[in-house]
A and B are shown apart, each in its own frame.
Chain A
């Protein structure tokens, strides 16, 4: 909006006169909350989208407080979540006790705490997240996005007072130019409590419209993992085992040659009656596929069927791998591979151990 130069001039001198005459005290701001844009990435089927809700939780070994909750109006569009501080005794007892390094070189680390953002389907219609009754759809920091989050500084003024004015200007880029203890952070390692500000500063320069705000992704993960991660306060230990179980060769190929060096069962299958990959994938808690070709023009599909088991804060992913080998001209089967699966150009880029005879 265009400002009137005269009014600007007048404003300045009115303020000047007031301060001269009255010796006004200057209002001292207090830190405010921060509104952040999130986007839900999920392939989960939501039976009643109007039940899709979010909650901001502060959790610790003896802490649980909700500071904001609301409805997600459109699960396919970014939505806003407002962060505000919980009661001080809750904030200080949030676990884990994170620290934030504004700059690795010479600034001290300052204490910070990360709240959780839970996306759930409110199955019992009580408008609040119930671990036992509701279906968890996504959790801040439990999926692929576990490294990126919003954190609250315990003493934002202490950090600012340690920084140069120019570095404070950078700090405000992380907070979208707000005086707030909340800022975008990442964790340097898997469940590290050492945080650092995230996203490129250039992406927020000149942010003037809500559409320009950085959007944090909330990705789905297996519900068992998300619930365990929430209960365990981000301290979930995850291990995985890859267990090759079978090579299945198209019976139009020479299975004897292909299976010669295989150390796992190697059988044939008829392309005329192909296996139902959809069913195989659906049986698993988590499933992935990979595709590739041999130099001889044979195509290989790896089917990873993952099954999850958790014991308190330790979860194990057991991946059972089945290899389907067939002639590259048999296109229909290869279409089972997701389109965005990166395709290796040869089998040498796949795990060669069970396929040594093919290369």
Chain B
């Protein structure tokens, strides 16, 4: 009780913003890591004003228009004397462009056109792809209440990177849908509706009530599935009739809390329960992060995550693999430890994990940076009932069991010009995005975890 009181006092006494990207509506990116962060497809004007974006070409805050581009080209290839060949992105280019028009102060139209070609080996421009997302963002200060403005946000339909709570259920997943929010003082009530989250026929309604600028969130969600009856499966006309569908609802409730100190230390926790007719299944996330940004010489992030997902926590009654898309290299800038990884096994097993993360960036000179990322992930997959079914997540991962994984990314970056972010990188890693021929094909596996080397030239327009 005493600890709780101390926690509450600390929580309420701090005046710091919980995230320094708090001005971006429903920003699902993880700002407690040193990994690169792609722009998000809304509020480009605000993003361009961030100090980290000052070298972008477009620096006209008063203009109705805004744009930025992250362009890169490179490859992901096998190391000598290894069996694994190369990834789908063995010779690629990515032209990830963002454009916005602010029609008036409250209304933005945003377009993200991600042009990419994962393979120059397939034939001249043969594998060119376009992954596009459009969002209309209405953000309006409605009126003043008790001296503070009531702010309304409506966003549809590219939600871009979505995180719910602290990431126990949904964490950095690109989604489409609708989002609405009312914000007053330090609290906000939101409703995010996302379609095709992890399974073919799922939709997710997330309703967080955020208090104290997000330091405490009361969480409610309904994950629902609308599957066509087997006899109508594939019938393009009948599939849209409600009478031809089976609907299932999986409600979740919970709470999250976080405390941070000077953007250097943070602890957070989240608890969610899946409510079922007979009982509940629980999940818990505890997270601690220590960040050190010297800007000039040395950057450090130390992180720790504890996760527990009780059996049958995932919104499924039978085992069915979760899938996600699009699979593009930008998604390598997330941890392997992610709620997605726990969903497929959840109908059969309890899962508990500890993850320790370390990221270090050392600026050897004004142009040369050495960096490494390390993620140690220990998982216990177990069952406390008489059910002794064995399942192989892959050829090396047998459940029930204890799985120990280490993921790394070590490399060297060289800035092409002093003071500008454009760079060449060479690195060795065992965390590569797993993609089918088409980047938008949903994948059951997020990463290829073989040691390979990569090289990349990146420019930030």
Contact = CB atoms under 8 A, between A and B. Distances in A.
A3 B398 CA distance: 29
Given A12-B310, A166-B319, A26 B402 contact: yes
A27 B401 CA distance: 7
A161 B392 contact: yes
A169 B320 contact: yes
A168 interface: yes
A124 interface: no
Contacts of B344: 165
A253 to B, nearest CB: 53
A46 B160 CA distance: 74
B24 interface: no
Contacts of A26: 380-382, 400-402
B278 A157 contact: no
B280 interface: yes
A110 to B, nearest CB: 14
A5 B282 CA distance: 10
B261 to A, nearest CB: 25
Most buried by B among A16, A162, A163: A16
Given A19-B380, A169-B319, A163 B400 contact: no
B306 to A, nearest CB: 8
A19 B284 CA distance: 14
Given A12-B350, A32-B388, A164-B444, A157 B398 contact: yes
B194 interface: no
Contacts of A179: 388-390
A13 B318 CA distance: 24
Nearest to B322: A165
Interface residues of A, number: 34
A352 B401 CA distance: 67
A12 B320 contact: no
Interface in A46-85: none
Given A12-B308, A169-B319, A160 B282 contact: no
Given A12-B350, A166-B320, A169-B320, A160 B401 contact: no
Given A11-B384, A161-B398, A16 B308 contact: yes
B321 interface: yes
A103 B391 CA distance: 18
Contacts of A15: 350, 352, 382, 384
A227 B316 CA distance: 50
A161 B380 contact: no
A242 B284 CA distance: 74
Interface string B254-292: 000000000000000000000000111110100000000
A191 interface: no
B392 A168 contact: yes
A13 B310 CA distance: 9
B395 interface: yes
Contacts of B392: 157, 160-161, 163, 165, 168
Contacts of A12: 281-282, 308, 310, 350
B393 interface: yes
Interface string A313-331: 0000000000000000000
A24 interface: yes
B321 A3 contact: no
A296 B455 CA distance: 89
B222 to A, nearest CB: 19
A32 B386 CA distance: 12
Most buried by B among A5, A26, A162: A26
Nearest to A1: B278
Most buried by A among B350, B388, B402: B388
A9 B319 contact: no
Interface in B347-374: 350, 352
A105 interface: no
Given A8-B280, A25-B402, A164-B444, A16 B352 contact: yes
Contact of B352 (A19, A161, A162): A19
A177 interface: yes
A209 interface: no
A29 interface: yes
A9 B280 contact: yes
Contact of A3 (B279, B284, B320, B393): B279
Nearest to B387: A177
Given A166-B320, A166-B321, A168-B391, A24 B400 contact: no
Nearest to A2: B278
A177 B397 CA distance: 20
B278 A161 contact: no
Contacts of B389: 29, 172, 177-179
B319 A27 contact: no
A157 B381 contact: no
Given A9-B280, A26-B402, A28-B400, 19 more contacts: A4-B279, A8-B281, A13-B282, A15-B352, A26-B400, A26-B401, A29-B388, A29-B390, A157-B398, A160-B391, A161-B395, A162-B395, A165-B392, A168-B391, A169-B318, A172-B389, A177-B387, A177-B389, A178-B388
24 contacts: A3-B278, A8-B280, A8-B282, A9-B280, A11-B384, A12-B310, A12-B350, A15-B382, A15-B384, A16-B308, A25-B402, A26-B380, A26-B382, A26-B400, A27-B400, A160-B392, A161-B395, A162-B395, A163-B392, A165-B345, A168-B392, A169-B318, A172-B389, A179-B388
Interface of A: 2-5, 8-9, 11-13, 15-16, 19-20, 24-29, 32, 157, 160-166, 168-169, 172, 177-179
